[in-house]
Structure 1
């Protein structure tokens, strides 16, 4: 049986540090690669490039994974910056093109953290630029180790996330932004006690997004590896 090819949208850094001679690099966190491999998929890294190439990239994969990283620029959801953001326009533009093509070609999408926020923006939703005034839960857990779950979430009955994680579980947390207005066609399928949206899905499309990081804990928590198995084999 042919292994599913899972396209993972890459990130970039301008200076990789002394060990790599301060080179600019294109990269993907290894957790995505290893988890996809363990789930039986073939990971294929999609480097940031010209949006016009998105059609060809999506044609070569079976499913698309959108990873975490920089803040989504508020220009894409009709707002001005209200705080200092770490946005990267070229990445936003390329990944928005990947999303458009994945929807056109009917390819499933799994979106993590920033990726979930970008899916919401791509479909017409908005973001909270800073959740510090909206919650008393710590959503940026550093320096607590990345694989340690730090707050509870609940999931929607009969949702994909409920089938993977159960009705209630604990997850890690590394974000200062969140979904605000939910895009038409998306459904809130996980949330934290403060009301922050932690998961979303689309009833009519094979889209699943999570605000936490399964890639940080796939080798420590069975529920996170189960999420990757679902994405690779069932989404």
Structure 2
């Protein structure tokens, strides 16, 4: 059994908060459910002072970086694009420090959506701040289609951690930022039919990240469930 540390998503807009004007750190129930279904324990790690990170890491075996706000473009040397969404510098800073500490402690990391993007930036890569900066004609922000429904295809490198996925696999999609320049030491292991990066890995450092949201589909798409299984069971 592994103890999975999921980095909490901060809800900082207190004037619109459903939590009685309180700031909270939360995660999707589906992240908790999939790991518990696989026989593992989950701890939600709140966004906190960076000096507390090493103490948190003593509690967990692995780290999960989830979705959320746009990554600040200042982290990869760009000014904000007109279509940049909400950013959270406090979360960026805490999660980047957590990535650094987890890598130093040799703890595996799984990134989902924003998690993939932040990992790419940590390793020195950059992002397209909005899909309008690319030539893609694929709808990567699939709303109002429900999140549990796959909507576009990807191709996967067969010698990668995701090599078990079928050819021309379908995934869901809820993002408007994508990888531009790939970070140092990372390998792009899945692409959309538009050529955009959909998954990355660093085998040596036990890092795996996907752009889609398998936590929304694991109950109906067993291949998406297997992503969590290979991560939690230590096969990446």
Same fold by TM-score, threshold 0.5 exceeded? yes
Partner of residue 9, structure 1? 7
After TM superposition, the runs of 4+ consecutive aligned structure 1 residues lying more than 6 A away are none
TM-score (norm 2): 0.94
1:90-129 Cα shifts (integer Å, max 9, x gaps): 1000000110001100000000000000001011111110
1:189 and 2:189 matched? yes
Over the aligned positions, Cα root-mean-square deviation in angstroms equals: 1.4
Structure 1 alignment gaps of length 5 or more: none
How many residue pairs match? The answer is 232
Deviation string for 1:157-196 (max 9, x for gaps)? 2111112x23330000000000110011000000001111
Corresponding position of 1:100 = 100
Query: Residues 191 and 56 (structure 1 numbering): CA distance in 2 closer, same or farther, change over 3 Å?
Result: same
With normalisation by structure 1, the TM-score equals 0.94
Paired residues for 1:1-235 under 5 Å: 3-13=1-11, 14-15=13-14, 20-83=19-82, 84-134=84-134, 135-163=136-164, 165-234=165-234, 235=236
The whole-number CA distance in structure 1 between the counterparts of 2:15 and 2:179 is 30
Taking the aligned partners of 2:225 and 2:30, their CA distance within structure 1 comes to 10
1:126-155 Cα distance to aligned partner (Å, 9 max, x none): 111011242100000011010100000000
Gaps of 5+ in 2: none
Report the 3-state secondary structure (helix = DSSP H, G, I; strand = E; otherwise coil) of the residue aligned with 1:43. Answer: strand
SS at structure 2 position matched to 1:174: coil
**Partner Cα separation in structure 2 for residue 198 and residue 98 of structure 1:** 23
**Is the 1:15–1:25 contact (alpha carbons within 8 Å) kept by the matching residues of 2?**
no
| SS of equivalent to 1:161 | coil
| 2: CA distance, partners of 1:184 / 1:39 | 32
Corresponding residue SS for 1:154: strand
Report SS of the residue matched to 1:138: coil
